Amino acid sequence: MSWTTINASLSEGVQAASKSIVGVRSAGRGPISGVVWDPSHVLTVGRVGREERTAVRAPDGDLREARVVARAQRLGLAMLAVEGEPLTPARWTEEAPRVGHIVVATGRVRGRLRASLGMVAGVGGAWRTRWGGRVDAFIDVDGSLPPGGSGGGLVGPGGALVGLNTAGLVRGGTTLPAMTVARVAKRLLGGEGGRRAYLGASFIPVALPAALQASEGRDRALLAVAIEPGGPSERAGLALGDVLLALDEHTFEGLPDLFRWLGTHAPGEPTTMRLLRGGSEQTLELIPAARGE
């Protein structure tokens, strides 16, 4: 394939994606970008000011009033409701990019589209932000964000967005994959932005068997003493008498440890529950809910 063909393909993909890339203005903040989620909502990074009202610069140059309707603090994201004519939703793909794929980071500053070329340098499994937010996959891009590009989309092969770029989670920036973006956006529009996760079970501290203390590197874990009918733990298969060893990589020696984890884990984010049942270890897939679900 010639460079002329490659250039044409990249340009066409970026131009198609640009219809869904907006600029975001917020008092006291530098320029950031956003991606149109549906005709009246834009997903952007949490750097948007704490005031309820802000403004969005649409691809046609029109400045629209907007307001923050929900935040995903643990992932540094915010959902904006935008006034005016319907916007063009972005086209996403949850197909994971591969190492070596050429990608383009996009943003919009002062109404102008900005783009930076990059290459996928590495991909990996799920990880958590320093605030406890779960990211479904690790995407390492060898490239830099364009000025004001935090909150913009990462254009992959074919012109679809493979993720949303953010400068606020790790040094040097990173990309939240489309799967994470979709999960969080749906939750934010469902009104769950600030809701606390719960398990639907009660626990008490208990001593671990001597054989496990050395391998676990601790003396205690949590014993399930009550399970709410129909709650997240019952749906996952937790039983009375099970000993909770860990949720994902987080271990618990006492209830304060568990409460801290619940305070940083959003409802609806899947987690792996590792437990001890009848002397043998088991794993269950648990989806914490919000109170009232």
In tens, the pLDDT along 120-167 reads 999 999 888 877 788 989 999 998 888 889 999 999 978 899 999 999
Residue 293 has pLDDT above 50, yes or no: no
Residue 193 has pLDDT above 70, yes or no: no
The Cα 220–Cα 225 span in angstroms is: 15
Q: Which residues contact 160 (CB under 8 A, 6 or more apart)?
A: 17, 91, 92, 93
pLDDT tier for residue 292 given thresholds of 50, 70 and 90: very low
* Tokens 């109170």, residue located: 291
- pLDDT for 234 equals 94
Q: Are 45 and 76 in contact (CB under 8 A)?
A: yes
For the chain, give every residue range classified as CATH 2.30.42.10.
197-290
**Mean pLDDT computed over 170-191:** 88
The Cα 233–Cα 4 span in angstroms is: 56
Q: Which residues contact 109 (CB under 8 A, 6 or more apart)?
A: 23, 31, 33, 146, 147, 148
Find the DSSP H helices in 19-160. none
Selected residue with higher pLDDT from 69 and 240? 240
* Three-class DSSP category at 18: helix
Instruction: List the one residue out of 176, 181, 106 whose CA is nearest residue 148.
Output: 106
**Mean pLDDT computed over 239-250:** 91
Q: Which fold has domain 1-194?
A: Thrombin, subunit H (2.40.10)
pTM of whole model > 0.75? no
- The gap from C-alpha 216 to its chain's centroid, in whole angstroms, comes to 29
Percent of the chain residues topping a pLDDT of 70: 91
The Cα 106–Cα 127 span in angstroms is: 24
- The gap from C-alpha 77 to its chain's centroid, in whole angstroms, comes to 8
Residue 263 has pLDDT above 70, yes or no: no
pLDDT tier for residue 257 given thresholds of 50, 70 and 90: confident
pLDDT tier for residue 264 given thresholds of 50, 70 and 90: low
Ramachandran assignment for 109, one of left (phi > 0), alpha (psi -120 to 50 degrees), beta (any other): beta
Q: Of 5-9, 60-64, 233-237, 287-291, where does mean pLDDT reach its minimum?
A: 5-9
**Mean pLDDT computed over 215-243:** 92
For the chain, give every residue range classified as CATH 2.40.10.120.
1-194
* Three-class DSSP category at 30: coil
Token pair of 90 as six digits: 């972005």
Selected residue with higher pLDDT from 103 and 96? 103
Q: Are 37 and 155 in contact (CB under 8 A)?
A: no
Residue 77 has pLDDT above 70, yes or no: yes
What CATH number does the domain located at 197-290 have?
Answer: 2.30.42.10
Residue 13 has pLDDT above 90, yes or no: no
- pLDDT for 195 equals 57
- pLDDT for 52 equals 61
Q: Are 208 and 243 in contact (CB under 8 A)?
A: yes
The Cα 148–Cα 167 span in angstroms is: 10
